[in-house]
Amino acid sequence: MRSTAVISTELLRIAGGGDVKEISRLLDAGANPEFQDVFDGSTCLHQLAAKGHLEAIELLLSKGANPNLVTQNTSASPLGVAALSGQGEAVDLLIAKGAKLSESEVTTGLVQECRDSGFAKIAEAIESTI
């Protein structure tokens, strides 16, 4: 039997691809849905949010992933990552599940950065949560 850390590391490694069956298999095998990368603190949810893998995001959240964990190096939230990646549906889903921007993202003007990047609808959706 593999350790939880090994299984969780594998989950983090494959999460960005959005393979729901494989993510589900690893979660069922004991992977931690909140496992954070040792280098930057990103989680599977950060990776999935960046690519807009909605079904996989839903799965992780249903298995207890915290939508408000932030990275160590930039204090990026999954919501902020989705927003800056232009993933409007992921933004809407995360907001519906209680996700917020980190204090750092609010302070540094992530909402304006979204507008400047052409993501006005995303900026409006996030503003309603601040």
CATH number at 10 reads 1.25.40.20
Rounded distance, CA 126 to CA 36, Å? 24
- What are the tens digits of pLDDT across the range 46-96? 999 999 999 999 999 999 999 999 998 899 999 999 999 999 999 999 999
| Count of all residues that appear for the chain in the document | 130
Residue 63 CA, chain-centre distance (Å), reads: 14
Segment 11-18 shows an average pLDDT of 92
Task: Please give the pLDDT value at position 1.
Answer: 55
> Residues near 98 by Cβ (< 8 Å), separated by ≥ 6?
67, 68
Rounded distance, CA 42 to CA 78, Å? 9
Tally of domains within the chain: 1
